[in-house]
Every structure is written in C-alpha cells, then in structure tokens.
Structure 1
Amino acid sequence: MAHDYDHKQINYNRTFAVGILLNIVFVVIEAGYGVAAGSLALIADAGHNLSDVFSLLLAWGASWLARKPATEKRTYGFRKVTIIASLTNGIVLLFALGGITWEAIGRIFDPKPIEAITVVVVAAIGVVINAITALLFVSGQKTDLNIKGAYLHMVADTGVSLGVVVAGIFVMFTGWQVIDPLVSIFIVSVILVGTLSLLRDSLNLAIDSVPEQIDIAGVMAYLSGLDNVSQIHDLHVWAMSTTEVALSVHLVTTDNDLGNNNLSIIQQHLHDRFGIGHSTIQVEKHGDESCMLDRDVCKKG
C-alpha cells in the first residue's frame, strides 16, 4: 500500500529568474569595466560569474523537471534530477574554488598590481548582487540540496567579491599586493567546508543512501514496536528527490491484516515524526513463507 501525504513543492521559478537576471547584468558590467580598464582579473572573474549563471540555470531546470508529473515509464517522474543537479553543482563549485586557489597561489609568488579603485568599485557591486541572490535561496537551502548548490555558488561569489573589496582597500593604503591572493585563499577555505558537505550529501542521495536527516534507528524501533508486528524485513529508505523521502518495508504480523486504517496511521506517523512522505508497506502473516522476499530471515523469526 502506498500513500504520499505531502507532494507540495515550493516554486522557485521567480527566485531563479531574478537571480539569473541579476548575475547576467553583473557579468556584463564586470566584463565592460574589465575591457575599459584593461584588467584581465576583472575579465576572468566575469567568466567565472558566467559559470554561476550556468549553475543557476542547471538548478532551475532540475527544479522545474521535478514538478513534472510521473508517467508510465518514469513512475517517479523527474524528481531524481534534482539530486543529479546538486551533485553536478557541487563538482562545478569545487573546480571553481580550485581555479581561484590556483590563481591566488600564482599571485603570491608573482604579485600583479591591481587597479585598486576600479576593482573595489566593481567588486562592491558584485557583493551586493551576489548577496541579494544568495538571500533569495537562504531559506530553501536548509531543506533542498539542489537549492543549497545554487546558494553556495552565490555565497562563494559574495565572499570572494567581499574579499576583493577588503584586499583592494588594503592595497590602496599599504601597497601590499600579496593581501589580495591571501584573502582569496582564506575565503576559499571557508567555502570549501560547505562544498564538501554538499558533495557528500548529494553523492549519498545519488546512490540511494538513507538521507542524513532521517533517524533510521528510530524508524526501525517504531516499526518493530508496533502491536502484532513480530518482525520487519526489506526496509529501505531513500530520497526520491532533494526534498522527498520514500520508504518501503515488509511487516510480519501475528494478525491476518493490520487493516487499511492502521496502515494509514503508520504512514501518517512516519510522515509527521520522521519526515517520510511516501511509504509503501507490505503486511505478511507470521509463518506464511509464500510471500516473503527474505525467506531465510523470516524462517528464523
């Protein structure tokens, strides 16, 4: 028996549209200033910010696909695409951080003078735009890895831009060019922690591991402790998407039938207490081996 208590998904279409538009505007501004000032650093950073537009588009596409209805061929629809998108965004972000680090290390050993005033002004614009975009996703990133991927990209750019502002001001007053790459490396180190967490969680969901927020021991204890349930087997808990969790289990009972009402109560409890919205439960009578998947284990019961 299967029941899905909550299929409500927040629509982030407007959020993504605003975020992408803001970042495209900034890319144009940054590239324009880079060409006008002859700054390769600004032009290169504009290219990096363009990659963030791609990441936002990827997350948006996955979010849109996840809302499409299931079909006979794709019985879960495209929900899993959100997990693939979050994993891809994590990998892209890791490469982006690696690129920033590589450039920063190069500048430590071969400092290049920067046009401090121009760089500070443009970077300050970047702080505002990226911070606004990050704030658009701040609530959703706590419960949706796909949104978290987009959020981390924006946080990374906000941090890097803020670091550039601080470093630029410092260089203006001291002339110490090495401050710029050192600040960049520090910011990358901080952002790397969140990126690795995103990659770990995304990879776990991609291989159908139990989602991090699910208390699997509590689920097992609850199901095993149900009245008339002598044993449970073939328990599986996995992510249907970055926001939805599914469960399937076989309950071996001393009664002929738990009844639809009791099953609904169990499913509601799994939803309310453990955050599992889609549960499939098969009831088997103790001693009846004809319907067992794990017959060896059930014989022992």
Structure 2
Amino acid sequence: MSDGSNHSHDHHGHHGHHGHLFHSHHDRHGPHGHMPTNFSRAFAFGITLNIIYIIVEVTFGLLSGSMALLADAGHNLSDVLGLAVAWAGAELSKRPPSKQFTYGLGGSSILAALLNGLFLLVACGAIAWEAIERFSAPSEVASTTIIIVASVGIVINFGTAMLFLRGQKEDINIRGAFLHMMADAAVSAGVVLGGILIFYTGKNWIDPLISLFIVALIFWSTWGLLTEAIRMSLAGVPRNIDVEEVFEALSGLPGVETVHDLHVWPMSTSETAMTAHLVIPGGHPGKGFLADVQADMKKRFSIHHITIQIELEDEEAELCQTDCGS
C-alpha cells in the first residue's frame, strides 16, 4: 500500500505496509485544521458571562414578577449547557491518536454538534410551550424591567456569538455555539420589542406572539445544523465536497486508468479523510506523485488525511463491479 496522507511513510511498491500502528495528527494545519486555542478562551468567557446574566435574569424576574425573564433565563441555561458540550467536543478533538482511538477523538466534536442541535430544539419546544400557554392566560408584564434586562442580554449574547464568528463557517461544532448565542440575542431582542409594544399598548398577548416568531427562526437555523451533524455522524460526505469532482480529479491524473474504492468521510467537524485505489498500469509513479495528489486534494477539496493505494493492474475489477467509481 502506498499512502499519500499528511504523514510520512515508507512506500513499498504495490503491496507496501506501514511500520507503526497509528500516527500523530499534531501536524494538522490550514483553514480546516485543528481548533485554534483561542476558542477555548471564547467558550470560557461566553459561559461565564451567560451564567452571570442568568443570575441577573432570575433575580429581576422574581422581583418584577416577569415570566418572560424567567423563561428566557431557562432558555439561556440550555444554551450554557450547549456551549459546555461544544467546548468539551472541541477539547476532546485535540487529543492525539491512541491504540484504542487511532484517529484520535475528533469524532467527539460531531457528537457535540449533534447534542447542540438537540439542545436548541428542546429550547424551541420550551419557548413555544410557554408562549402558547400565555395566549390563553396573558399575565401582567413589568415592561420597563423587561426592556432593560433583555437589552443587556442582547449585548452579552451578540458579543459572545462574535467570538465564534471566525470559526463557524468551517466547523459545525463552532457553528452550533455561534447559533446558540445568536438565537439568544434574537430571543432577547424579541423580549425587548415585546416589552416596548406592551408598554405603549398594554396588550400582553404581544409577548407570546413575538416568542413564536423567534422559535420559528431558531428552528429554521437549527434544522440545518442538526441534519448536517447527523450526516457527519453517519460518515456521510461533508456538504462542501462533491465526491464526483474528487473522482474526476483522481481519474484525470497522469497514468491513472481506473479509480475505485473511493471513500470520503469526516474525521471531525473540521477535518476530512479520503481513501482511494488508483490503477496505474505503467508502474508505481513514486513519492512525488503521491505528494502532488495530497497537495491537490487538500487545496481543492480541503481533504487532509489522504490514503492512496496504487495498483499496477486492475486486480479487483471483477470483484467491485458494484463499487467502482463511487
């Protein structure tokens, strides 16, 4: 086997093998590499700020008799749990490979994203339930207190979300944290708007109506996160990669007659792996060829861990009629 991955291996022609059991992934780099360490500070800062804000919300909610603030405090608590799960996933994904987990624990970030999506759905359900109950029995709302406290919530939640802005496009675990905090900022904005309208109109049913609009917005963004996390947990091809394009790129390489057993899957929320068999009848192309393929796959498709097996003749042609080219 010849391996064109990020790691240095000896190549032994057609049927070579690796001389060690597992490899360190500490050399990950590039735009989709390991989690930058500053996200640990972002998680710590975000969790601390939100815990303080929850205490403030509960205190003023009880003092003013505002169910809106108490409900929002409950929602914020679910988001603190979500941030904690995302942080744990990000930290575990930094662990080096071991004999038990030869790819490391990067997959834990996928589980974290999945749990984060579920947390958001639970929060949506809780807010919607509370809003529907208030329609039937609107409670008196201390609008001024709500406006002030929820305004502080907008600043805290939006500020925390901005800490994760840079990483949310490339890592769905970080995106989960980002969406949590943006959802909280949206909820706080809705609470402020409701407080203002109630202050001027005296109509308490405005508060649950706005809550339901916010739930719809959160659900829409959460559904995309959740479906992508489920796809990744099932080793599906990441959404940013077209496997047909990868197949065509490999098929077009010099000397390649056939490509089969092509597999692309996520190792974590920020790193992708690929294996492929290339049939090259003209002979083994050498290490330079493998290094070029690795660089090309990384540049064009953000695939980092690449294993390529070179075959001098299509020995498996009869055995993989249903699998070739897919």
Normalised to the residue count of structure 1, the TM-score between the two structures is 0.94
Instruction: Give the conservation status (yes or no) of the 8 Å contact 2:68–2:191.
Output: no
1:92 aligns to what?
A: 119
The answer for the alignment partner of 2:319 in structure 1 is 295
Task: Give SS of 2:5's match.
Answer: strand
Amino acid at match of 1:23: N
Instruction: Please say if 1:54 is aligned against 2:81.
Output: yes
- Taking the aligned partners of 2:287 and 2:166, their CA distance within structure 1 comes to 37
Are 1:212 and 2:234 an aligned pair? no
1:135 to 162, 168, 191: 162
SS at match of 1:140: coil
The question of whether the paired residues in 2 share the 8 Å contact of 1:146 and 1:242 is answered with: yes
Alignment coverage as a number of residue pairs: 297
Partner secondary structure for residue 62 of structure 1: helix
Mapping of residues 145-164 of structure 1, within 5 Å: 145-164=172-191
Secondary structure class of the residue paired with 1:100: helix
Q: Cα offset for 1:117? A: 0.9
1:100/1:184 contact within 8 Å kept: yes
Aligned equivalents of 1:221, 1:141: Cα separation in 2: 29
The alignment status of 1:203 with 2:230, answered yes or no, reads yes
Q: Mean Cα displacement is larger for which, 6-15 or 231-240?
A: 6-15
CA contact (8 A) 1:67 1:78 kept: yes
The answer to whether residue 51 in structure 2 is matched with residue 30 in structure 1 is no
Q: Which residue of 1 aligns with 2:11?
A: none
Kindly state the Cα deviation for residue 29 of structure 1 after the two structures are TM-superposed.
Answer: 0.8
State the TM-score, normalized to the length of structure 2. 0.87
Residue 83 (structure 1) aligned to one of 97, 110, 113:
110
For structure 1, the residue ranges without an aligned partner over 5 or more in a row are: none
Q: 1:174 to 1:281 in 2, by over 3 A?
A: same
Residue 48 of structure 1 deviates from its aligned partner by: 2.2
Matched, 1:236 2:260: no
- Could you tell me which residue of structure 2 aligns to residue 3 of structure 1? 5
Structure 2 residue 128 is the aligned partner of structure 1 residue 126: no
SS, match of residue 102 in structure 1: helix
Partner of 1:170: 197
- How far, CA to CA, are the matches of 1:168 and 1:57 in structure 2? 30
Pick closer, same or farther for the CA change 1:198–1:294 going to 2, 3 Å.
Answer: farther
Query: In structure 2, what is the Cα distance between the partners aligned to 1:285 and 1:80?
Result: 34
Q: Find the counterpart in structure 1 of residue 15 from structure 2.
A: none
Q: Among 299, 303, 325, which residue is 1:276 paired with?
A: 303
Per the TM alignment, residue 284 of structure 1 is displaced from its structure 2 partner at its CA by 0.6
Gap change, CA 1:294 and 1:18, over 3 Å in 2: farther
Contact 2:72–2:187 at 8 Å: present in 1 too?
Answer: no
Contact in 2 for aligned 1:210/1:237 (Cα 8 Å): yes
Q: Once the two structures are aligned, what percentage of the paired residues are identical?
A: 44
Shift of 1:249: 0.5
Question: 221-230 vs 242-251, which deviates more?
Answer: 221-230
- 1:116 and 2:143 aligned: yes
- Judged with a 3 Å threshold, the aligned counterparts in structure 2 of structure 1 residues 130 and 296 are, in CA distance, closer, same or farther, namely closer
Secondary structure at the residue paired with 2:99?
Answer: coil
CA contact (8 A) 2:108 2:268 kept: yes
In structure 2, what is the Cα distance between the partners aligned to 1:256 and 1:129? 62
Q: Which amino acid aligns with 2:166?
A: S
1:235 and 1:294 mapped to 2: Cα distance?
16
Amino acid at match of 2:312: K
Q: Which one has a larger percent helix, Structure 1 or Structure 2?
A: 1
Instruction: Determine the C-alpha separation between the residues in 2 that align with 1:120 and 1:294.
Output: 71
**How far 1:148 moved relative to its partner?**
0.8
Local SS of the residue matching 1:142: coil
Q: Secondary structure at the match of 1:238?
A: strand
Shift of 1:196: 0.4
C-alpha deviation, 1:224, in angstroms: 1.0
In structure 2, distance between residues paired with 1:294 and 1:68: 41
Report the counterpart of residue 14 of structure 2 in structure 1. Answer: none
Partner of 2:221: 194
Partner of 2:283: 256
Where does structure 2 lack aligned partners over 5 or more consecutive residues? 8-26
2:206 aligns to what?
A: 179
- Judged with a 3 Å threshold, the aligned counterparts in structure 2 of structure 1 residues 294 and 165 are, in CA distance, closer, same or farther, namely farther
Q: Give the superposition deviation at 1:106.
A: 1.8
Does structure 2 conserve the Cα–Cα contact (< 8 Å) formed by 1:234 and 1:294? no
Asked whether the equivalents of residues 65 and 141 of structure 2 are also in contact (C-alpha less than 8 Å), the reply is no
CA distance in 1, matches of 2:151, 2:244: 48
1:273/1:282 Cα in 2 relative to 1: closer, same or farther (>3 Å)? same
Q: Contact between 1:230 and 1:286, CA under 8 Å: does it hold in 2? A: no
Aligned-pair distance for 1:293? Answer: 8.9
State the shift of 1:110 in Å: 2.1
Match of 1:45 in 2: 72
Cα contact 1:246–1:276 (8 A) shared by 2: yes
Letter in 2 for 1:297: Q
Q: How far did 1:138 drift?
A: 1.3
> Cα distance, 1:239 vs. partner?
0.4
SS at match of 1:248: strand
